Structure 1
């Protein structure tokens, strides 16, 4: 496909806007309930012009095309910083693709418009007219409440060139330009489309589009060049001027220390930029001179803080060697620079702020006196432009007219707080990537990543909605269909679901596990009371060896569906590790009992206290199916040169701690070796033992790379556990743990930085050393029973956990070693399904169909968690399996479009990719939950034969809209000449989409 954007004519743009609004209630995907109107009496004044909001898009991907600017305005942007133009433009501008990587902190490798300068000018004028129309037609404001700010670069010679000079002069007064006349003629001849906008409004549109300019210079531009350009813009062009300044003004050490302290230690800086860019003292001196010049011309001069920060590409985030950082990681640097410069000028320096501005800090920035505020990264994330509405509403009451100075004390405090504000710390995002391991389908792609990420595929959105409505019994019935241990998993599940939650790309995951626990506490006992064991539907019998979560799950699911099941365990109580090892401070015995009663009430039979090995041959004489779920209790290997005999295994310690707390003796100093959840349990338990003063967790990498869940790390931290990072234990001697000091090297296959010895040693006081490095399975039990093992000593099994011996299964920790409780339940579910299939019995793992209010789901888009309110978690769930459309949200150019298709008497939501509006930035692929890229993998609408032939995308080209003649490329790559209505020529799904586009979305067809 082509990465070239095809500008839309103004006439088509007007028709598109009005028809989409009437058809869908949206304009370029922005829902009309998100159209922003300042409802108060307050406004802000910038360059002597009134704005109903001081917010808007920073010069970048969201201010490049007419539709981008329109979408931004509708959502609440009123200060529109147009994308930068320069002499090198269009196809002469080398931009690697993809060019945006906004997964968390954002990176890009593009810096100015990809259009020709004249095309860019035309786009901005078209947007200028269309905003005036929409302002009136939608009753958003009686008088113009927005301004455009142009951005140019990168040197004086280029800015003085005829091309850029014509652009600047045209933006100052566009009345004589061809596009101005075209727009005016189109609107005049289409007045019948409007109810409120009229000829008088048209004639009152100001011909002066921009009275201000932002100067963007390249990194390394000499200070004298910056000053020359600024003087030129002030004296020669008579423009209010903002000068973009870079975070490099703070120095490399400050930037490096900041990133290291906030969790961005992986960011690789380029020292050259810190030495060759404008230096701080030179910048201050220059600004003082320019302020004097501006005052003489009765103009305003200020700074745009900040430009993006260049960093090295070391992990293939984007093509090339260097990329430019923006977003939340940049906020501490930018706000610190703003504070530092404000002090230099006693608050009398106007700042156009950008650099990590978002919902969580925009009000704080504005409260210091800074205005305007622009952003890019936040509106490149799910929710997209519609995030602006919430921000605009949040700051509406703070608007206070013209710039009157900055409160340097408030600003300094905000800068200081930024280093500890959780919204800017890397650890806020608990997972790097939330993609699921499924390919993006061409049709019907809405999916709940939480459900797919859950090993037992819990219907998460459904039970969350039911809990939110306080329909606890229904919620629990949804949960228990797939979950044999709801009380346990509602308390200590590692919640894989939350690591896939779309809300991670907004703020924080929905607290899914907590919602499950609410259902459990309100309904599980009642549900158990109502259980009546079903009649047996098969004469076959099942033996389950091991009463842990895996064994009990397979038992419950099988018995619930009509099988005879007996569970045997050598211990006196069920639930293995959960019952005997996991401390009470993590899960109470009452919650464990709830789940046992749930299983027992189904009619499962139990035999506890059975000693001796499990002999499959003997068991087969009585049972037709055997499930081995014996866990992994064998201690892991201790890798120490000396003192192995002084090491305590974590499982043994925790079991003893749980059964006889008062009798445990550990001494004063305890070291835990390991970084997983078991290590955290061991540390927190040891801390509670009488006589223990210090507990240290020793890990060969840093805390950041510990596999334990974030909440377990935080709990250990809050209880005074010490974290001894970058230490690799080698020996125990005379009450000391001797360790190699390590440093982090290159990344390994897991993506973590490999620990490397430094050659130095460190000793820690250690009366007791507890090894928490992973238990092992009892492979001898398996081999003695004829079960084949792989090269790692693990049982060879099928997808349904069946071994090489027919009808013999292995589940839970016995399968691959220590894993999670929910993974063990998943094994039980897989085994139950397989056995039921063999017995020709149906299973009851049936999804519950719950209706969702579509309007309510759309209203949640773009809404971030407000710390000021105690919001119910169900209100935050986006029910992504019903409404996803993330690719629509995050596309700055609006190239991914929702199309409602009628099929089989029902309407479905499909995504159509409009090729001519796409520049292959790649942003949709970053946030799509699937493996894939919507701009390549979804049905594509092409605007020209050239683009169709230049692409391999599945999609269609309308050759004749009236006769419905098309060219179609389907999934197999075959191209078909097709006329709507032809039978058996193309797939029904493709036909339905083409039909919908022609009949209901014809405005998209060029």
Structure 2
């Protein structure tokens, strides 16, 4: 396996395109339904060329190979900024791999094309011809509606070199080049393949590939060098010129402050970039001179905004010490620079814009008078090139031909708004990684990360789809299979599922919890009415101690599968903390009642108001299995030097608030210590107490590191709760909370930055201090019953939550301290499964397969859409368990390919990796939900024996096409020769992949 790409011959590419389109309805994986045609019949005019869209890929990974450019064109790109060429090329150009990391804001460590300059030129000419063919053949336009813009770098000496000079001249007029002649001849000889493209169309293809150029210079290039190159391109090459400028023009202070305000405070800048790069005043003066020069030459000069931003590599995102940032975090910087430069020239400045463009802002950029608009990071994310179609359609009606002037006032407003727009703020995607802790399988890899991320593995895509179709009863029956507290989790679950949702890489997570609640409201009561307890299938009995979510889940799962269960609790009502502590403003008593009725209807028996301490030995005389689910009610340890007696425990306060709110008096000023959901509940409850004026949440780190869910933080903030960050409580004295002022240091094992004492003291007014930090379990209760504890004071358990005492289990918070409701339910499910297995009983957790419309799912790909209301959320769900193919979406080179295999697999959809088209950029590994890299872990098709031998990938290379002879590296790593049809040489799965490639995807073979 090599990181060097192998360009596809022009003849082979034609065959590939025509065959794939006819047999699969796709071209390089782009679905026919995403092919873009301008239906408004409006156009954009750039450098006197009429385009059906002013959009396209920025010079980068999506404009490097012919197939990349084709994919971009098909989806709506009409301004193609070709990847930069420079005098150092091919194998002489060192590029660290992987080189792309587009998980949120984008990063890269590559600059120009990795091909040799001549190879790059050939790719661009091949693409030029093929776009003309596809334009006619697919009826996308009668006349050429696209343009190419070349990009060169990085100094005048290199640009004047024979290699780059020949490149520029060839792009100005390619008619005498070898590749031009080859392409024209190949097309002429293959006219029989086309229905609409004719010899006349071929003869009419213009040999002027580019009339414009973008100058890319390295960071630190002197201003006089930039001006010399620009003058050369204007005077000697007569090219309309864009000068790529850097966000460093804004100054380090502005950039740093902007990042801090928007939540990107972890990005570490390189100060040297700001001092060595072109300075703002020099840039303005230079542009003024160059505009005068261009005007005299009847050419145009403009700026390309912006280049990427150099930042330090501190978390091993990519190899090396420095990487270049792009994407949504760059948008506020780039649009601000555009605003400032436009104001300097009173709107008379041609701007080619690229910096954080996506569906949510592309129309706004165009509206102020900026075109063309290019992008890179957004199409490196799930949806890939097919995101372009949505953008092109969105701006289609805005096209106004040529634009003579930028609306400076409107642009300034856009720049100001960008700092507050949620689409650019870090909090929209605070999840570091959506990956699940499973290895990427070589076959059958489609998976719903939301379901895996859910502790009880709810079949989320299935019930979301059914709720969207208003089939509430069917949806709820799926939910209830794995969830004994659907009403509670539909209201206050911490929704782990949403932190794994693929939509996070589009816009925002599907509102999964809300969809569950809709099913609950519309169906749960009816579902419960129809429950009939199953007959007992065993003479064994189970005692559950504790009627919280954990105990009730174990009880319900066991009883509905035929085991006799009795739940005991010292309180008079079920659901523990949910019932007695969580405030009514978060969950109503009616929702709790719904879930209790569900459990009760299955035939579970209850004993409430139990006096005394439970005794395992006594219970064992009557019950065969015991489940301890007593929760974590003990107050956490208060680490204060003095004034501990004046501190109120959060659970005690919340319980009193819920039962006798009117009698509570807290004074005017309340401080809540802690940063979790209990702290948020306590603060919001305190704010509702009579006489309270101010409530402050005191936390030793910053709000960003608080463990509470984002929505709970927002609710607290919206209700006027004050957040006192970087304060560590020290003592309570005379109505004040005395705190150490902290600062954030290096990261700890959790990934959060350590709080460090500064030596400064701060005092907060505090009539009442509520302590909401780490409730504890009753270890005495466990140890006195003979349950062995580990060194942390938690019960020692096996994989099934069984303690050191056989057939005695623990579930929920008592297992290892405060956790989530859904995790408690998961414990109950694990225990129930284990007990049922021991009793040789089947369980009813079997998956319920729902068939979904595959075409409908493909239509959702590449469509960005904010959540508006729950009614439409199913339209945002991508049903990843049915169709994933993220590695196909995000590969710029189309090196990961979907193939449809008819046998020997769970799914017909399998992924094949084409080695010759891969440069090991690593982007597919970033977005694959598994812990793996598709370009290394999937079956690989090799185009040469040498590449096969230099790789460890499982896969094959064809040795003799006529004999159907292959060399195969099997799943176990062994290499063998294989003739198609031979038995017991390779696995059935590998045989099916090879056979399918020979029969249906022969055009991909070398």
| TM-score, length-scaled by structure 2 | 0.99
Answer yes or no: is 1:965 the counterpart of 2:953.
Answer: no
SS where residue 889 of structure 1 aligns?
Answer: helix
* CA distance in 1: counterparts of 2:350 and 2:172, whole angstroms: 22
Please tell me whether the aligned partners of residues 430 and 710 of structure 1 are also in contact (alpha carbons under 8 angstroms): no
* Mapped contact 1:643–1:731 kept (Cα < 8 A): yes
Say yes or no: does 1:831 pair with 2:831: yes
On the 8 A contact 1:78/1:146 being kept in 2, the answer is yes
Q: Matches of 1:741 and 1:469 in 2, distance apart?
A: 53
What does residue 636 of structure 1 align with? Answer: 636
Counterpart for residue 924 of structure 2? 924
The separation in 1 between residues aligned to 2:875 and 2:315, in whole angstroms, is: 37
- Counterpart of 2:212 in structure 1 is 212
Map 1:844-993 → 2, pairs under 5 A? 844-865=844-865, 872-903=872-903, 908-993=908-993
What secondary structure, in the 3-state scheme, does the structure 2 residue paired with 1:527 have?
A: helix
Alignment of 1:130-149 (within 5 A): 130-149=130-149
Q: What's the CA shift string for 1:667-693, capped at 9, x where partnerless?
A: 110001100000000000000000100
Q: What is aligned with 2:596?
A: 596
The 1:432–1:373 alpha-carbon spacing in structure 2 relative to 1, beyond 3 Å, is: same
Hey, what does 2:783 align to over in structure 1?
A: 783
SS in 2 for 1:329: coil
Alignment match, 1:227: 227
Q: Is residue 732–residue 738 contact of structure 1 (8 Å, CA) maintained in 2?
A: yes
* Residues 641-660 of structure 1 mapped to structure 2, 5 A cutoff: 641-660=641-660
Partner of 1:302: 302
CA-CA distance at 1:804 after TM superposition: 1.4
**In the alignment, which residue of structure 2 is the partner of 1:621?**
621
Q: Which residue of 2 aligns with 1:725?
A: 725
Q: What is the CA-CA distance between 1:867 and the residue it aligns to? A: 7.4
- Unaligned residue ranges in structure 1 (runs of 5+): none
Other structure's SS at 1:635 match: coil
Whether the aligned pair in 2 keeps the contact of 1:270 and 1:312 (CA below 8 Å) is yes
**Structure 1 residue 117 corresponds to structure 2 residue 117:** yes
- Confirm or deny that 1:47 pairs with 2:47: yes
Does structure 1 residue 397 correspond to structure 2 residue 380? no
Shift of 1:758: 1.3
Distance in 1 (alpha carbons) for counterparts of 2:310 and 2:547:
56
Residue 672 of structure 2 aligns with which residue?
672
Verify: 1:508 aligned to 2:508, yes or no: yes
Equivalence map 1:521-532=2 (5 Å): 521-532=521-532
Could you list the per-position Cα deviations for residues 159-215 of structure 1 after superposition, in whole angstroms to 9, with x for gaps in the alignment? Answer: 000000000000000010010011011101111111000110001000000000000
SS at match of 1:410: helix
Q: Give the CA deviation at 1:962.
A: 2.7
Question: Within 5 Å, which residues of 2 pair with 1:268-279?
Answer: 268-279=268-279
- Are positions 1:319 and 2:319 aligned together? yes
The answer (yes or no) to whether the contact 2:741–2:760 under 8 Å persists in 1 is yes
State the distance in 2 between where 1:776 and 1:756 align. 26
| Structure 1 match to 2:755 | 755
Partner of 2:283: 283
* Aligned counterpart, 1:388: 388
Deviations 1:578-637 (A, max 9, x none): 000000000000000000000001110000000111111000000001000000001111
For the residues of structure 2 that align with 1:518 and 1:906, how far apart are their CA atoms? 32
Distance across 2 between alignment mates of 1:735 and 1:905: 69
> What corresponds to 1:713 in structure 2?
713
Contact 2:468 2:871 (8 Å CA) reproduced: no
Cα deviation, 1:633-667, whole Å, max 9, x if unaligned, reads 01111111111111111111101111100011111
Aligned to 2:463: 463
Structure 1 position 444, deviation (Å) = 0.2
- The 2-side partners of 1:869 and 1:605 are apart by 40
Q: Once the two structures are superposed, what CA deviation does each residue of 1:544-575 show, in whole Å capped at 9, x if it has no partner?
A: 00000000000000000000000000000000
The 8 Å contact of residues 937 and 954 in structure 2, kept in 1 or not, is answered as: yes
Q: Residue 252 of structure 1 contacts residue 271 of structure 1 at CA under 8 Å; is this kept in 2?
A: yes
Residues 734-778 of structure 1: CA deviation (Å, up to 9, x unaligned): 111111111111111111111111111100001111111110111
Q: Deviations over 1:68-99 (max 9, x none)?
A: 00000000000000000001111111110000
Structure 2 contact 916–942 (Cα < 8 Å) conserved: yes
**Secondary structure class of the residue paired with 2:228:** helix
CA distance in 2, matches of 1:183, 1:291: 38
Residue aligning to 1:573: 573
The alpha-carbon distance between structure 1 residues 75 and 309, as it changes in their structure 2 partners (threshold 3 A), is same
Distance 1:105 1:773, change over 3 A: same
The question of whether the paired residues in 2 share the 8 Å contact of 1:309 and 1:326 is answered with yes
Q: Which residue of 1 aligns with 2:794?
A: 794
The structural deviation recorded for 1:254 is: 0.3
> Could you report, residue by residue, the CA deviation over 1:872-900 in whole angstroms, capped at 9, with x for unpaired residues?
00011000000000000000000000010
Offset, 1:960:
1.8
The 2-side partners of 1:763 and 1:360 are apart by 44
Q: How does 1:473-484 map to 2 (within 5 A)?
A: 473-484=473-484
Aligned to 2:238: 238
Structure 1 residue matching 2:897: 3-state secondary structure: strand
Secondary structure in 2 aligned to 1:423? helix
| Offset at residue 403 of structure 1 (A) | 2.0
Name the counterpart of 1:12.
12
Using the alignment, how far apart are the partners of 1:811 and 1:278 within structure 2?
62
Distance 2:246 2:871 in 1: 38
C-alpha distance in structure 1 between counterparts of 2:778 and 2:953, whole Å: 52
- Alignment root-mean-square deviation, CA: 0.9
- Distance (Å, rounded) in 1 between the aligned partners of 2:754 and 2:486: 38
The question of 1:587 aligning with 2:587 is answered: yes
Following TM superposition, where does structure 1 have runs of at least 4 consecutive aligned residues deviating by more than 2 angstroms?
A: 866-871, 904-907
Could you tell me whether the CA contact under 8 Å between 1:542 and 1:564 is conserved in 2? yes
Q: Which residue of structure 2 lines up, in the alignment, with residue 607 of structure 1? A: 607
Partner Cα separation in structure 2 for residue 963 and residue 132 of structure 1: 38
CA offsets per residue over residues 463-513 of structure 1, 9 Å max, x none? 001101111000000000000000000000000000000000000000000
Render the CA deviation track for 1:90-113: whole Å, top value 9, x for unaligned.
Answer: 111111000000000000000000
Q: Secondary structure at the match of 2:631?
A: coil
Report what 1:198 is aligned to.
198
Q: Retained in 2: the 8 A contact 1:675–1:699?
A: yes
User: How far did 1:798 drift?
Assistant: 1.2
Which has the larger displacement, 368-377 or 780-789? 780-789
In the TM superposition, residue 826 of structure 1 has moved relative to its aligned partner by 0.2
Check if 1:692 corresponds to 2:692.
Answer: yes
Q: Which residue of 1 is the match for residue 66 of structure 2? A: 66
**TM-score computed with the length of structure 1 as normaliser:** 0.99
In 1, the alpha carbon distance for the partners of 2:275 and 2:943 equals 48
- Name the residue aligned to 1:564: 564
Counterpart position of 1:494: 494
C-alpha separation between the residues in 2 aligned to 1:172 and 1:845?
Answer: 66
Would the alpha carbon gap of residues 807 and 754 (structure 1) be closer, same or farther in structure 2, given more than 3 Å must change?
Answer: same
| Alpha-carbon distance between aligned partners in 2 of 1:547 and 1:283, rounded to the nearest angstrom | 70
1:961–1:998 Cα contact (<8 Å) kept: no
Distance 1:906 1:926, change over 3 A: closer
In structure 2, C-alpha distance between the alignment counterparts of 1:98 and 1:299, rounded to whole Å: 40
Separation of aligned partners in 2, 1:191 and 1:412: 52
How far, CA to CA, are the matches of 1:194 and 1:959 in structure 2?
A: 32
CA contact (8 A) 1:903 1:992 kept: yes
Q: Which moved more, 1:864-873 or 1:173-182?
A: 864-873
Deviations 1:904-925 (A, max 9, x none): 5986110000000000100000
Superposed, 1:354-365 pairs within 5 Å as 354-365=354-365
Residue 126 of structure 1: aligned partner:
126
For residue 430 of structure 1, report the CA deviation from its aligned partner.
3.5
In the aligned structure 2, how far is the partner of 1:399 from the partner of 1:679? 52
Kindly state the Cα deviation for residue 869 of structure 1 after the two structures are TM-superposed. Answer: 9.1
Quote the residue 1:345 is aligned against: 345
CA shift, 1:970, in A, is: 1.4
